[in-house]
Structure 1
């Protein structure tokens, strides 16, 4: 495989990457403001009934944010290296562009979803909201996205 293979950056790809940056930036500004307003101890974990089962220091609102940043950069590196992607199918010159474009679109879509999930977790934590259903919803969307893209990939081989 060509080590320098480049995937075409479509308008969709550019928009998704810009959205990730906007979400990360807006969340950072929001958390900075919230941090100044929070008491030293805040609810950090909720059970399935929405009841607080752990309190923590207010700096802990940054944990999900930092995890989101790490995942954003990690996925950004991975998306630039198609030669390392495990596609599950044989890549040929005939299908390379089509398969890699689908995989790239899947990766950036999942990147947007992962960034959104971790930023929502950060914001909810700073607002002291313990509704786990939004996290389950986004995790479900990520799973469905993965299934749909792999269906398209195996269909396109």
Structure 2
């Protein structure tokens, strides 16, 4: 079934969906507060890129720190809008009248959860930048990269399995 012939269903937000949306908004606001609070304390040159071991390997001006919350805000808005059109998304199963509501619910939840994880990942990168720039103790250490990949791919695999199980 092509995307033009899929049923268009308005899915009401459940308590879980509303909770995830609230968490995403709170993380985004906290992200901005954290960044703007620490901005005046940062030196003129800050790390802008980290290698696989979590060590900085690129540097730029202090203003570069604002890029992370700006990009996060744009992605937050884009994913929020995108989740309103589940009939336009790609699925690994055929969408029918019978399975559309369930498949749409799984997909929109995946997008919401990934939105939260993306915000947390960007916040961790922001924290790591501030931590290195201000010479705070390294609390993430070698777990830095593993944490980022787990936050991204854990929910993705979970929801893809849910999609195929509920086809």
Report the TM range for the smaller structure's normalisation.
0.7 to 0.9
Partner of 2:32: 28
Partner in structure 2 of residue 140 of structure 1: 150
- Provide, for residues 118-138 of structure 1, a one-character-per-residue CA deviation record: whole Å limited to 9, x for no partner: 122122212327857434423
Q: In the TM superposition, what whole-angstrom CA distance separates every residue of 1:39-86 from its partner, at most 9, and x where no partner exists?
A: 211233344455443321111111122121121111111100012111
Report the alpha carbon displacement of residue 153 of structure 1 after superposing the two structures with TM. 1.2
Aligned length: 156
Partners of 2:76 and 2:97 lie apart in 1 by 30
Partner of residue 16, structure 2: 12
Deviation at 1:143, TM superposition (A): 1.4
2:121/2:151 contact within 8 Å kept: no
Q: Runs of 5+ in structure 2 lacking a partner?
A: 1-5
**CA spacing shift, 1:25–1:2, aligned 2, 3 Å:** same
Normalising by structure 2, report the TM-score. Answer: 0.82
More helix by share: 1
Please give the root-mean-square deviation of Cα atoms over the aligned residues, in Å. 2.0
Asked if the contact 1:43/1:52 (under 8 Å) is kept, the reply is yes
- TM-score between both structures, scaled by the size of structure 1: 0.87
Q: Distance in 1 between matches of 2:90 and 2:35?
A: 37
Distance in 2, Cα, partners of 1:50 & 1:142: 17
Matched, 1:154 2:164: yes
Which ranges in structure 1 are unaligned for 5 or more consecutive residues? none
Q: Against the structure 1 CA distance between its residues 21 and 98, is the aligned structure 2 distance closer, same or farther, given a 3 Å change threshold?
A: same
Following superposition of structure 1 onto structure 2, how do residues 96-115 of structure 1 map, counting pairs within 5 Å?
Answer: 96-115=100-119
Which residue of structure 2 aligns with residue 82 of structure 1? 86
